[in-house]
Chain A
Amino acid sequence: MAREAKLTEAKLSHTAALILQALDGGFVYGFSIMEMTGLPSGTVYPAMRRLESNELIRSNWERQSIADAEQRPPRKYYKLTAQGKATLEASRRRYPLLERLIPTEEAKTV
């Protein structure tokens, strides 16, 4: 519990917060995050590696059968972990404009 409380207070950089917000907004692979945030690939992918190593996001490969059906290579999808969601909540308080830049799935459906 003490650990979670501490994590929610963690201070992410604006870039990392933006990427978490994009993932929460349904942009779940590298290129879509690049397009959404306008960040270059050299920023997005390394930041995602760090976020993943800190267990704020996790990745999994798309099934080969799905990719084959659509005649394209499989993609690596990223997803927020519970820890990542808590950190994102803390970051939203720190960066109030975050949600306005990239609306979340819930905000889009409202």
Chain B
Amino acid sequence: MRPPAMAHRLLHLGMLRCASLLVPSRQRAEWWREWKGELWHVQRACAPRGAATQEGERKVAAFCRGAFQDALCMRQTGRQSELPFAEMGGTARQCMLIVAALLAASYAGSLLLPGVRAERSLWPRKVNPNLVLIEQAGSNGSRPTISLRQLRGWEGRRQKYFDGFAFYQVTQQNVDVETRSNRPHGKARWGVARASTNFFTLLGTPVAFGGQLAKPDDGMLAVILSERVWRREFGADQNVAGLRVRLGSRVARVAGVASDASLALPGSVDAWLLDSNAENGPGGSGYVIAHLTAAGKVEMWASCVQITASAPDDADDDLLGISLGDWRPTQQSLYWFAILLAMLCLPAITSVSLGECSVNMQRTSWLKRINRWSFFGLKIAMVLPIIYFLSLDMAYGCTAIGCEQSVDIQLVSTFAMCLFGMRWVMKDHRQRCPVCLRRVAHPAQVGQASKTFLGWNGTEMMCMGGHTLLHVPSLPTSWFGTQRWMYLDASWSFLFAGPGTGIENDAVAGVL
């Protein structure tokens, strides 16, 4: 075969191959086989013995162009009939598949979105309500007020109201960070809090992406980054744990990231350097967090406790303990609160009646009724987790960890999705045939309200399985208040003949 003829042949095969991509996959192999075989014959007929003429090539090309029309035709007819999914339009199984796919997608989103993952790694983030920040009365947390000398005095004595203290002191330090990326990194200046090693343990604050709070094996101190610095300096790298950071003259290893929101403590802190010798620091004042005993908690009044501490010089210090208890709700409590609100609001946007009282109990077996209610329960059981995961995706997918807006987004989105999700569940259930659970279709308006005074007018819908007709009144009246099901007997069956009966075929053949 001469090179131009070979090129033409390849071009024609390429056209057919492109067209075959339009054919539904299950029919593609046979379609390709037929067209390839036919092309061989067309080429032989148009170019006998390889002697291709311009006219012949044009004919072959025209033949190949027709393949696209054929492929499109198969695609259109395939859409109507090829998939079992199309055959089960409106069935309970299709509904379950769609809802299950949504559930899987929303769950996958919560697993894949970095913000949601980070948020989940910080759960539970609720700060222990028995924690108080101790400061001099009247200081309002604006400056550190507790000296190391005072703290040592408290720790040295037996305490009735407190059973643990943590100390931190914030200083500005030059920092040199190591990043995994190759981008050059200059020196920065951070607010570094030298904290006692029990700091995060006492607060019960989770640390994301690491969690090794003890001294690393190499003897270096552990540093916990604030979320702000983690994003700014490390580009929200989730493998940040283990990187070295030079803080002033000391080298520390990153042990994790703490949410800014969960550490809403005084002092602008960019990193927490956990040092067992924190209390032997450069001196000066710092902040003290204390854990209340049961007796101490009794003394709390309006999130505060008045403390009178004996100073080493026998003078009394007037101190104030301010509760660090986190007022913010957890994701779960927010979710359930929004669900409750939505349930209360549901009657305002849809009828909560399921029309059950109108179902002819004589015509549906116990099994069918159990199936119907199981289906209803299953839908709710699947919709609620979808709402939960989607609300997390929306709230934390693109906001900072612990951002205040996330709480609002989660609350509003859960409320809205639950409201409309439950509305869909109710409406869907009302329009499912009690016999086969298929959705009724082909709504037809019957009667006119303006012309049929005291007569019935509304919408009629039909079960495509031929079991029932659903009558929904346009204007609920005392004699026709809710929807009614009418069960169809065998005399209606001719309307619902299946594909094998020839009725559809006649109709289709008539328009060929």
Residue numbers of A with Cβ under 8 A of B are 3, 6-7, 10-13, 16, 29-31, 34-35, 40-47, 49-51, 53-56, 72-76, 87
Contact = CB atoms under 8 A, between A and B. Distances in A.
A31 B62 contact: no
Given A31-B45, A40-B62, A75-B38, A46 B70 contact: yes
Interface string B58-87: 000011111111100110010001000000
23 contacts: A3-B501, A3-B506, A6-B506, A7-B502, A10-B509, A10-B512, A11-B510, A13-B512, A30-B38, A31-B41, A31-B42, A34-B63, A42-B70, A43-B66, A45-B67, A46-B74, A50-B512, A72-B40, A73-B33, A75-B37, A76-B34, A76-B37, A87-B509
A93 B258 CA distance: 86
B506 A7 contact: yes
Given A3-B506, A42-B69, A75-B41, 17 more contacts: A10-B506, A11-B510, A16-B512, A31-B41, A41-B63, A41-B67, A42-B65, A42-B67, A45-B67, A45-B70, A46-B74, A54-B509, A56-B509, A72-B37, A72-B40, A73-B36, A75-B37
B302 interface: no
Among A6, A35, A45, A53, the one with the most B-chain Cβ atoms within 10 Å of its Cβ is A45
Contacts of B42: 31
A54 B512 CA distance: 9
A45 B19 CA distance: 13
B474 to A, nearest CB: 38
Question: Which 3 A-B residue pairings sit nearest by Cβ, starting from the closest?
Answer: A41-B66, A42-B66, A42-B69
Contacts of B64: 41
A66 to B, nearest CB: 12
B69 A46 contact: yes
Interface string B342-359: 000000000000000000
Interface of A is mostly: helix
A76 B511 CA distance: 26
A64 to B, nearest CB: 11
A74 B65 contact: no
Among A3, A42, A75, A76, the one with the most B-chain Cβ atoms within 10 Å of its Cβ is A42
A34 B69 CA distance: 15
B505 A54 contact: yes
A42 to B, nearest CB: 3
A73 B508 CA distance: 33
Contacts of B502: 3, 6-7
Contacts of B66: 40-45
Contacts of A13: 512
Contact of A50 (B34, B67, B68, B77): B77
A46 B512 CA distance: 11
A42 B64 CA distance: 9
B77 A49 contact: yes
Contacts of A49: 70, 73-74, 77
Interface string B470-512: 0000000000000000000000000000000110011011111
Contacts of A53: 77, 81, 508
Contacts of A55: 505
Among B37, B68, B502, B511, the one with the most A-chain Cβ atoms within 10 Å of its Cβ is B37
A56 to B, nearest CB: 7
A12 B77 CA distance: 18
Contacts of A10: 506, 509-510, 512
Among A72, A76, A87, the one with the most B-chain Cβ atoms within 10 Å of its Cβ is A76
A45 to B, nearest CB: 4
Contact of B62 (A41, A72, A75): A41
A46 B73 contact: yes
Given A40-B62, A41-B66, A41-B70, A29 B506 contact: no
A55 B66 CA distance: 23
